[in-house]
Each structure stands twice: as structure tokens, then as C-alpha cells.
Amino acid sequence: MSLYTEPATTITDEALTAADHIRLADRHAAHNYAPLPVVIASGHGCWVTDVAGNRYLDCLAAYSAVNFGHGNERILAAARAQLNRVTLTSRAFHHDQFGPFSAELTALIGKDQLLPMNTGAEAVESGIKVARKWAYQVKGVPDGRANIVVAANNFHGRTTTVISFSDDPDARADFGPYTPGFRAVPFGDAEALAAAIDTDTAAVLLEPVQGEAGVIPPPPGYLARVRALCTERNVLFIADEVQSGLARTGYTLACERYGVVPDMYLLGKALGGGVVPVSAVLADADVLGVLRPGQHGSTFGGNPLACAVAREVVALLATGEYQERARQLGEYLHERLAELVGRGLTAVRCVGLWAGVDVDPAVGTGRGVCERLLAHGVLAKDTHGQTLRLAPPLVIERAELDFAVDALRTSLGEIAGR
């Protein structure tokens, strides 16, 4: 009898095989993901090891939440020190990590204030609430009429309001009724954006680089035009940098790369150092100042452990080292991936150390390539059928990028040769 059929109390973790783990998850957890058949037991830097002791190069980095590498010593030391002191107080009281965290992150990002939350989707929800309140209280939009303009093919998370303005049928179907007040325009089309804004528009909400859509960079000049339109029409420009932010694109913020300063940043993922979920909304006081006590909150948002970890993340970012690595290694990755265009790939887009790679439909699917990559010791994730995202931890070395690209070349060759 397989271990997974025995009562849970008799199961010791050491006795479980990868197949046992996968069967346990299949039987006892919702099937809202279709993970590759690998069961990770440990991670260090840009490598993870499975329960059988096989090593894999992590080219997803938990969708950029592990930018600083698995088990980053500085981040772990900050977490351990805080674990021994206090981990959760709620915001009913002050604690000694919150003020310094707020001061240090706002200084790094260049905004007056922050609003701490946990997940990326919560940061997006919070940004929407703040923008709506700003529209009613500051801009003077009539009650209940505020609208927010978003981009087609966006990905901002999974909550009910956020999927209300998604156009991905998987994300949306059968989860209605949907939250009203959003209008979508094509990403990169400034004229469509200008036409969608009216006197009741509170905000324009965009990912500066569309991540889940397949690492789609903005067309030249687009974000500057968005900035100008928002200023002219008295609309908040909200940049969702949950995935693009915190060094991934070679800059602390992707907006910096494109020379624009939005009114509000949404941060998440890497802010928690791959240890705890930490997200934040950052804006100046004339925007975040619309919130008064009791109007918004979160039991875990801004907790001592999260703040201690995020302070170390801010300290790592303040050196500029990770941004520099992402810029240089990103150029190298782009060069190496470009060799495969016409040899199994139809296109490659790199923004810093973040690549969207389109697999030739004549060769195979994104998922099929990920499965072959797994066999060659590389973890990557497909999106929208034909595309792979590559976003390794920023601690990766050139030789490891070579390992990943060589594995991709071999995988494409194997699939094409079938």
C-alpha cells in the first residue's frame, strides 16, 4: 500500500517519495495549479534540490519573489534575529521595525508615504481603494462614478475585484458578478488611453512591463505619454511593479528604466525576500493622506517580521549591486537566447534579467518545453500556451545562464526531432 493512503499521523516526511507527495497534493489540495512533477525540498542561491536529491537551476524565482536568491544569508539573518524578538503585534500598537521600515522604503522609492499589505493582489486592491477615495475627496468626482483605466492582457492578481478587469477567460469565467468601474484599452496605445479617460477617471493602472502576458515591454515613449496624459487630465498614474520592481529590470523600478515617475507604486513579491509575503502601496501624502484611521487595514500588514525582512531587502537594493547584475546578465541572456530565434523560438524579449521566449508552434508548446527543461535540470514556467518566462534569481552567474540556454537548445531540438 502506498504511504499516501495511510492515516496522516503515520506518515513521516522522510519516507515519502516524489510520487507520494504529488498524490497527497492531488488528493487533498484544490487543483488550481498544474505544477511540473518536481518536489522541491531545499534551495540555495539559484539552485533547488528535490526530495530525491536532484538539483535544478531555478529560472522562475517564484515569479521574481526570490530575486535575491534562495536562502540569502543577509535576509535570513534579519529574519532569524526578528523571529527571536517579536513577529506579530497587529497595528493596534506601534512596533520598533515599522517606523524604520517606512522611512527606509519610502526613501529608496522616492515617495512620502507607504501603506503596508501582504500579497501583491492586496496592494492592487489597496491602490484601487485609495485612488477611488482620492477621486471623490480631492478630484471631486460625483459619488459612485469613479472609473479606472487598465490595459488589456493585464495581470494584477486573483481577487474578485482584480479579476473583474482581467480579460483572461481562465482568470475570470464563472467568478462573477464582477466589480464595475474599469475600462480596458490596448497596452501601448496612448490614443486609446486618452480617449478612455473622462472627467470621472480616478486612475490609470498599468504594469510598466506586462509580466504574465509574456514579458511585454512598453513601446518607446508610451509610458512618458501616459505620464503626460495623467498630469493633463488630473488622473493618478498607478504603476503595478509587483513583478517588474526591485531590480528585476536592471533598475530599482521598471518606471525608472523608462524615465517616468508615476503617482503611485505597487510593490510586492521580492519585497518579502522570498521569506514572507510583503507588499506596499507608495505615494505622496496628498494621495495616501486620504486614508483615515479605520478606513483600511490588515492584521498582518506591516508586521515586525515582514518589516525586518523588507528592511534588509531595501538595504540590498540600496547598494545597486542587484540592479547592475540584472542589467549586465540580462544583456548576456538576450544575446544567448537570440541565437535560438529561428531554431525553435520565434521571438525573444528581454527586459533586464527577465525574458519572454516564444516557442515556435511548429515545434511544440511552452508547457512541453518546460517539461523537457525539467529533464535537463532547469525550472521554468510557461504562459499563454507558447511563451516561457525566464526570471532567475539575480545572484545567477554567466555560466549558469549558459547552462539554462544550452538546456533550452537541447530541449527544443529533442521536441523538434520527435
Ligand X SMILES: Cc1ncc(COP(=O)(O)O)c(C=O)c1O
Q: 360 catalytic, yes or no?
A: no
Amino acid at 56: Y
Q: 155 catalytic, yes or no?
A: yes
Could you tell me the smallest distance in angstroms from the CB atom of residue 156 to ligand X? 5
Residue 120 binds to ligand X (criterion: CB under 6 A): yes
Could you tell me the smallest distance in angstroms from the CB atom of residue 319 to ligand X? 25
301 or 364: whose CB is closer to ligand X?
Answer: 301
- Which of 111, 133, 269, 381 is an active site residue? 269
Q: What are 111's three cell numbers?
A: 515617495
Contacts 24+ apart (CB under 8 A), 356-360: 356/214, 356/215, 356/216, 356/387, 356/388, 356/389, 357/387, 357/388, 357/389, 357/390, 357/408, 358/214, 358/386, 358/387, 359/386, 359/387, 359/388, 359/412
Question: Which residue has 509575503 as its cell numbers?
Answer: 277
Residue 381 binds to ligand X (criterion: CB under 6 A): no
Residue 300 binds to ligand X (criterion: CB under 6 A): no
Position among 67, 72, 106, 243 found at the interface with ligand X (CB under 6 A): 243
Residue 125 binds to ligand X (criterion: CB under 6 A): no
Which span sits near ligand X by CB under 6 A: 84-92, 115-123, 220-228, 380-388? 115-123
Could you tell me the smallest distance in angstroms from the CB atom of residue 274 to ligand X? 12
- Rounded Cα gap, residues 70 and 82, in angstroms: 19
- Rounded Cα gap, residues 130 and 114, in angstroms: 12
Phi, psi for 404 (deg, rounded to 5): -65, -45
105 or 363: whose CB is closer to ligand X?
Answer: 105
Tell me which residue has its CB nearest to ligand X: 120
- Rounded Cα gap, residues 159 and 169, in angstroms: 15
Q: Cis omega before residue 177 (within 30°)?
A: yes
Which span sits near ligand X by CB under 6 A: 74-82, 119-127, 145-153, 310-318? 119-127
Helix 398-416 with 321-338: angle, nearest 10 deg: 30
Residue 121 binds to ligand X (criterion: CB under 6 A): yes
Q: Is residue 279 within 8 Å of residue 65, measured between CB atoms?
A: no
Question: Which residue has 498607478 as its cell numbers?
Answer: 238
Q: Which of residues 44-73 bind ligand X (CB under 6 A)?
A: 63
Helix (H) or strand (E) holding 55: strand 55-58
SS3 388: strand
Residue 4 binds to ligand X (criterion: CB under 6 A): no
Residue 124 binds to ligand X (criterion: CB under 6 A): yes
356 or 364: whose CB is closer to ligand X?
Answer: 356
Instruction: Count CA atoms within 13 Å of residue 393 on its CB side.
Output: 24
101 or 155: whose CB is closer to ligand X?
Answer: 155
Position among 20, 104, 125, 240 found at the interface with ligand X (CB under 6 A): 240
Residue 207 binds to ligand X (criterion: CB under 6 A): yes
Q: Which of residues 153-182 bind ligand X (CB under 6 A)?
A: 155-157
67 or 243: whose CB is closer to ligand X?
Answer: 243
Measured in whole angstroms, how far is the alpha carbon of residue 216 from the centre of its chain? 14
Residues 124, 247, 119: CA angle, nearest 5 degrees: 25
- Which of 98, 101, 182, 240 is an active site residue? 240
Could you tell me the smallest distance in angstroms from the CB atom of residue 154 to ligand X? 8
Q: What are 342's three cell numbers?
A: 529561428
Q: Which of residues 254-273 bind ligand X (CB under 6 A)?
A: 268
- Rounded Cα gap, residues 179 and 339, in angstroms: 45
SS3 48: strand
Which span sits near ligand X by CB under 6 A: 44-52, 175-183, 240-248, 324-332? 240-248
Residue 313 binds to ligand X (criterion: CB under 6 A): no
Phi, psi for 334 (deg, rounded to 5): -60, -45
141 or 209: whose CB is closer to ligand X?
Answer: 209
Q: 269 catalytic, yes or no?
A: yes
Residues in Cβ contact with 397 at an 8 Å cutoff, skipping those fewer than 6 apart: none
Residues recognised as catalytic: 155, 240, 269
For ligand X, the binding residues (CB under 6 A) are 63, 119-121, 124, 155-157, 207, 211-212, 240, 242-243, 268
